[in-house]
Structure 1
Amino acid sequence: MTEDYATCVRGCTRRCTADQCLTTGEHDHEPLRRRATVGLLCKRCDEQLTEAVHDIPDLWAQMPGLYDTGHAEGEKVSHGKVTGSPSLIRLDVMVLNGSSVGGQYEGDGVMPVWPTIGGWIQILAEELGTVAKSDTIAQWCDLLRRMHPTICRQPWVDEYWADMVAIRQALRRTTGAPPPVGRCFGHLANRPCGRLLYPPAPGETEIVCPDEKCGRRYSGAELLKLQIQGEREGVA
């Protein structure tokens, strides 16, 4: 690693722990850069990126419909030609699904999920020769998780980080997802699971990890352990 990349490529800084700086609360030197510990990223950026790639498939599965009808869930509603107030259309959902609004994909921090992640998958295929099993958000993110150490060493990882974190934030805002309980501490073949786990559905007493390769179940003492871990890590 060259000296230029000895610190986080995103320019992250950390608090100085020198006695004089801690005592006075002031610094007479330039901000200290965070050390790159995972490829070109610092530990904090690596954790944020890992969380984003883990969360996106779950949040994507909770995406609401394009039309805000105001009808109760489960009520049968037929849609013909859309007329009247354009406020019936969820513009944030439209953009996240990859439809343009006024010729622009991005607006108010909302990024299209399919074109953005698909673009990074294409870059992986062209530069690293890796191909996803199928063109789904879940399979794409599974590939991105497996390629994480390699991706973190690429010179464009700062742009990739910004895109994935922005998509996660937009999906959380759009879905109105309930706060998660914690992250699955099951183990897959070559990595921890780490999927976000949400409260049990009404009438249910256990949580099941949605990852088909994991499927760990939490109930009783295990569920309590999950909740305590989530509180310690500030998952919500």
Structure 2
Amino acid sequence: MTIKFLAQDDRPREKFMLKGRSSLSDSELLAIIMGSGSRNESAVELARKVLASVNNSWHQLSLLSAKELMKFKGIGEVKAISIATALEIGRRRAHQEIPDKVVISNSDDAYHLLKTYLSDLRTEEFWAVFLNQSNKVIHISKLTHGGISQSIVDVRILFKTALEHFSTGIIIAHNHPSGSLKPSREDMNITSKIREAGSFLNIQLLDHLIITENAYFSFSDERLI
């Protein structure tokens, strides 16, 4: 049964207009994004199936690639891209909700600032937070992205950005898609290299975080800086 044959109250778009977006279930929201179902099921039914496959988690759905979404019968390239695009918009909106001039007092503050950027990625990325003398955030930047196991950092670019923003402190962070919080030898080496370079420029490396999906490791907390 297709959407046009459903009762008025069960049509996602019409329900959106009549009752507002908050009245829609997750499957109805996804059905609107997809626009249509398959030959044998409505968009809502297809949406229920897709969401059930990820335990009804938008976060888990956002981790699926377009090719993985296209494995569902009724989802072609256009629908897969539409779903991925909608979820990416939500991700970027979450980033923009971070207030300006956040004060970083400890590793937990830094983690909560950076987890929206790094916690759910499948490849490694290296980010830096630049702070002023009062430990207020003045700039956040992604410096590199790499393969599944490593992200190579150009220390010159890091400190060029720090100088451009008149930063006196830096917090660096990268993710481990594997879920391991144990620092690698490369993690230790790059931390030491950045700390030493910063000492010559009077720019202090305050912390280095390793971020996984639900946790983090702080070099500062573990007295490795």
| TM-score after normalising by structure 1 | 0.28
Give the TM-score of the pair, scaled to structure 2. Answer: 0.28
Query: Which is strand-richer, 1 or 2?
Result: 2
Higher relative contact order (CA 8 A, sep 6+): 1
Greater Rg over alpha carbons, structure: 2
Structure with the higher fraction of residues in helix conformation: 2
